[in-house]
């Protein structure tokens, strides 16, 4: 009986602690979302207002009048194409790492890991100069190429893990049935790892969607993604906090929704396979 | 038979070809290009300077540049501060989350929220909260009469602390997730033995749990430290490196040299120094993974 009581008490303590922790950490973010639905008057009153008439004015002003809708489109274009290309380029390599071990694997693996750890700032200047020589600054092609390359190591490593989980016997059976290596890869391995494929796709898209530094350097007026365009709302005449909050909500809410879908694979993806989630 | 094998080998190499072609073009080649530029005196303010060969002068200049050493010191303080706090917080929260049975999944999802928010938005969010006229922070210190400064971003120490808080806020969830994953995969038998031996809860934690999850904590710490070393988005939007250069981390310093002062060759040399530092960290990390796989 005593032990039971102690357990209940400890449980209550644990829930209280976690809920308190969540209240403190989530308040700043919650406040950003709430502010996006406030008028200028409501946003700046002290003490802060919790009850107010919600308005979509900030969204309307930012996305329709100030052109953030085209930045939204740019962000989508860059995320979709760079994700698509990093999957197309990276998948065969992931499959080869999983299925055809060779002597040079160790070196290739190290090469991948090195590119994963190369900071964006290290590549920013040379890529900027190279892209300017090829007239790729302020084009979608330039930023899509850069984001594709940044996601590659991630795609290869994630997908290698998923291919590893498919029994090799399935490949053998398909080979016996007269399928070529390429055919086996396309018709057997890929459909069998559809969950992993979806998770990897989502991660790549999030990475590209949230990326700031490279986009800041390589995009220009017509190709600026949402994160690159946001600082434009901090003007010497004043900061449009309501609109910043609106654009911030549009950037973050889709990511949060998608992250719940891929939560299961989060750890594996972020640690390059060092920790199994 | 022989022909078939060589065909297979060719096929295997072809599978790797696209990835390594792209990586060579977009990462290796730019780094080689940086090495080339770093031997010149190329700066936008001096016409013709792109052809002026200076040897190792840029690298020598880095080591006598007070701005470089300042930003290195800021970065080291930042990396050390955030990593230590994230490990401690991560451990405590993961242990508590792990003891919960009902609602663990939804609570974990909620804990995860900060790390999914784009870093740039994290910076803006804190800038909003710290606004001296209407920020939540300002309201709270007024309301509770807290002995805190009203504009923490205007003094060197408190600005760096704010920077650290933004990163701790964003990435503690990562530590929680890592440690939680480790806790869920520890075997049951040592705990049963400990219970039979009558070990206290603290003893179980100290002598069984911690040693078992130590490898994961180590991997997570290195990974987090390396990521923190590359901090850019949050200081860019929140402090701009200021006041003075109090929060100018090394990425911001390099960015300023490259894209504001347009000292291309000097910035190229800087980025190579950074590359070597991160590569060393990457090798360490790779070794750790290999050891754990064995």
Domain harbouring B171, CATH code: 1.10.3720.10
DSSP state of B53: B
- pLDDT tens digit sequence for A186-202: 888 888 888 889 989 99
Residue B12 falls inside a structural domain: no
Interface of B with A in 160-199 (CB under 8 A): 169, 172, 174, 177-178, 181-182, 185
Find the closest chain A residue to B128 by CA distance.
A241
Q: Which of B9, B134, B282 sits opposite A114 (nearest CB)?
A: B282
Instruction: Kindly tell me if the per-residue pLDDT of A8 is higher than 90.
Output: no
Per DSSP, the three-state class of B211 is helix
Residue B269 falls inside a structural domain: yes
Domain boundary among A55, A71, A96: A55
Is residue A201 within 8 Å of A209, Cβ to Cβ?
no
Cα three-residue angle A213-A215-A219, rounded to 5 degrees: 140
CB spacing of B33 vs A148 below 8 angstroms = no
Instruction: Kindly tell me if the per-residue pLDDT of A243 is higher than 90.
Output: yes
From A87-91, A230-234, A258-262, B61-65, the region with the lowest mean pLDDT: A258-262
The span from the CA of B235 to the CA of B240, in Å, is 6
Residue A145 falls inside a structural domain: yes
CB spacing of B18 vs A35 below 8 angstroms = no
Longest dimension (CA), chain A: 77
CB spacing of A125 vs B289 below 8 angstroms = no
Residue A275 falls inside a structural domain: no
Residue A170 falls inside a structural domain: yes
Domain with B223, as residue range(s), is 74-293
- Are A11 and A126 contained in the same domain? no
Find the closest chain A residue to B119 by CA distance.
A210
- pLDDT tens digit sequence for A112-163: 888 888 889 999 999 999 999 999 999 999 999 999 999 999 999 889 888 9
Compare A83 and A1 and report the one with higher pLDDT. Answer: A83
Nearest chain A CA: its distance from B200 CA (Å):
14
pLDDT at A186: 84
Residue A73 falls inside a structural domain: yes
CB spacing of A210 vs B285 below 8 angstroms = no
- Are A51 and A62 contained in the same domain? no
The span from the CA of A171 to the CA of A184, in Å, is 6
Give A-chain residues touching B128 at CB under 8 angstroms.
Answer: 31-32, 35, 241, 244-245
Is residue B172 within 8 Å of B89, Cβ to Cβ?
yes
Residue B223 falls inside a structural domain: yes
Domain boundary among A55, A77, A96: A55
DSSP-assigned letters across all residues of B136-188: HHHHHHHHTT-S--S-GGGSHHHHHHHHHHHHHHHHHHHHHHHHHHHHHTS-S
A268: its two tokens? 């594996």
- Are A148 and A266 contained in the same domain? yes
List Cα–Cα distances, A24 to A18, A29, B81, B114, in angstroms.
10, 10, 20, 12
* CB proximity list for A95: less than 8 A, separation 6 or greater: A159, A160, A163, A185, A189, B15
**Is any Cβ of chain A less than 8 angstroms from the Cβ of B10?**
no
- Are A203 and A78 contained in the same domain? yes
pLDDT at A50: 79
pLDDT at B2: 44
From A60-69, A125-134, A176-185, A226-235, the region with the lowest mean pLDDT: A176-185
- Are A10 and A142 contained in the same domain? no
The span from the CA of B147 to the CA of B144, in Å, is 9
Q: Which helix (H) or strand (E) holds A234?
A: strand A234-235
* pTM value surpassing 0.80: yes
Give B-chain residues touching A32 at CB under 8 angstroms.
Answer: 121, 125, 128
- Are A30 and A166 contained in the same domain? no
List Cα–Cα distances, B84 to A121, B111, B212, B225, B235, in angstroms.
25, 19, 19, 9, 20
* CB proximity list for B294: less than 8 A, separation 6 or greater: none
Residue B69 falls inside a structural domain: no
Considering its fold, how many domains does chain B have in total?
Answer: 1
* CB proximity list for B128: less than 8 A, separation 6 or greater: A31, A32, A35, A241, A244, A245, B135
pLDDT at A274: 60
Residue A180 falls inside a structural domain: yes
Residue A146, domain CATH: 1.10.3720.10
B211: its two tokens? 């040693």
Domain with A48, as residue range(s), is 2-55
Residue B113 falls inside a structural domain: yes
- Are A23 and A67 contained in the same domain? no
Interface of B with A in 55-114 (CB under 8 A): 93, 96-97, 99-100, 107-114
Residue B42 falls inside a structural domain: no
- Are A77 and A32 contained in the same domain? no
Burial of B158 (0-12, 13-18, 19+ CB in 10 A): middle
pLDDT at A235: 85
Instruction: Determine what percent of chain A is predicted with pLDDT higher than 90.
Output: 55
Domain boundary among A12, A38, A55: A55
Whether a cis peptide bond, with omega within 30° of 0, leads into A132 is no
CB spacing of A32 vs B219 below 8 angstroms = no
Which positions of chain B have pLDDT values less than 70? 1-7, 292-294
> What is the value of ipTM here, to two decimals?
0.90
- Are A48 and A91 contained in the same domain? no
Instruction: Kindly tell me if the per-residue pLDDT of A239 is higher than 90.
Output: no
Residue B138 falls inside a structural domain: yes
Range ranked top by mean pLDDT from A60-74, A97-111, A253-267, B190-204: A60-74
CB spacing of B220 vs A272 below 8 angstroms = no
Residue B150 falls inside a structural domain: yes
Whether a cis peptide bond, with omega within 30° of 0, leads into B256 is no
Considering its fold, how many domains does chain A have in total?
Answer: 2
Nearest chain B CA: its distance from A50 CA (Å):
12
Q: Which helix (H) or strand (E) holds B292?
A: helix B264-293
Nearest chain A CA: its distance from B157 CA (Å):
22
């Amino acid at each position: 009986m005593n032990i039971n009581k102690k357990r209940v008490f400890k449980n209550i303590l644990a829930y209280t602690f976690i809920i308190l922790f969540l209240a403190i950490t989530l308040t700043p973010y919650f406040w950003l979302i709430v502010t996006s639905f406030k008028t200028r008057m409501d946003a700046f009153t002290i003490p802060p207002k919790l009850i107010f008439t919600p308005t979509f004015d900030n969204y309307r002003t930012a996305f329709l009048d100030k052109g953030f809708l085209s930045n939204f489109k740019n962000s989508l274009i860059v995320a979709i194409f760079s994700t698509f290309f990093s999957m197309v380029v990276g998948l065969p390599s992931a499959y080869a790492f999983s299925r055809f071990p060779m002597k040079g694997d160790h070196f290739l693996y190290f090469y991948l890991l090195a590119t994963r750890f190369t900071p964006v700032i290290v590549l920013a200047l040379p890529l900027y100069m190279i892209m300017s020589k090829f007239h790729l600054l302020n084009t979608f092609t330039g930023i899509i190429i850069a984001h594709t390359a940044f996601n590659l190591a991630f795609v290869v490593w994630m997908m290698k893990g998923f291919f590893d989980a498919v029994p090799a016997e399935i490949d053998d059976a398909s080979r016996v049935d007269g399928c070529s290596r390429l055919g086996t890869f396309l018709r057997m391995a890929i459909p069998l790892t559809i969950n992993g494929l979806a998770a990897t796709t989502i991660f790549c898209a999030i990475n590209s969607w949230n990326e700031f530094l490279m986009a800041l350097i390589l995009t220009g007026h017509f190709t600026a993604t949402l994160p690159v365009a946001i600082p434009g709302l901090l003007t010497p005449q004043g900061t449009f906090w309501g609109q910043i909050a609106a654009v911030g909500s549009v950037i973050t809410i889709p990511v949060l929704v998608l992250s719940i879908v891929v939560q299961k694979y989060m750890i594996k993806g972020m640690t390059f396979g060092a920790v199994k989630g | 038979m022989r022909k078939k094998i060589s065909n297979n080998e060719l096929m295997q190499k072809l599978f790797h070809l696209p990835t390594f072609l792209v990586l060579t073009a977009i990462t290796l080649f730019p780094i080689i290009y940086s090495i080339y530029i770093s031997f010149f005196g190329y700066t936008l303010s001096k016409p013709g300077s792109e052809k002026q060969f200076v040897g190792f002068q840029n690298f020598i200049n880095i080591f006598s540049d007070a701005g470089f050493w300042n930003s290195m010191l800021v970065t080291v303080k930042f990396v050390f501060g955030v990593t230590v706090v994230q490990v401690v917080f991560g451990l405590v929260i993961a242990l508590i989350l792990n003891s919960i049975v009902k609602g663990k999944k939804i609570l974990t999802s909620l804990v995860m929220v900060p790390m999914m928010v784009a870093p740039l938005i994290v910076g803006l969010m804190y800038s909003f909260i710290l606004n001296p006229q209407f920020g939540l922070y300002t309201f709270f210190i007024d309301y509770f009469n807290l002995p805190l400064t009203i504009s923490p971003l205007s003094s060197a120490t408190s600005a760096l602390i704010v920077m650290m808080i933004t990163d701790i806020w964003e990435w503690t969830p990562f530590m929680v997730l890592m440690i939680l994953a480790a806790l869920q995969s520890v075997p049951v038998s040592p705990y049963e033995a400990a219970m039979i031996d009558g070990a206290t809860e603290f003893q179980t934690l100290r002598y069984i749990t911690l040693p078992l999850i130590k490898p994961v904590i180590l991997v997570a710490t290195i990974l987090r430290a390396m990521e923190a070393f590359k901090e850019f988005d949050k200081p860019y939007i929140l402090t701009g490196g200021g006041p003075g250069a109090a929060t100018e981390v090394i990425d911001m310093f390099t960015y300023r040299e490259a894209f504001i002062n347009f000292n291309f060759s000097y910035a190229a040399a800087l980025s190579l120094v950074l590359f070597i530092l991160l590569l060393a960290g990457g090798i360490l990390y790779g070794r750790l993974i290999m050891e754990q796989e064995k």
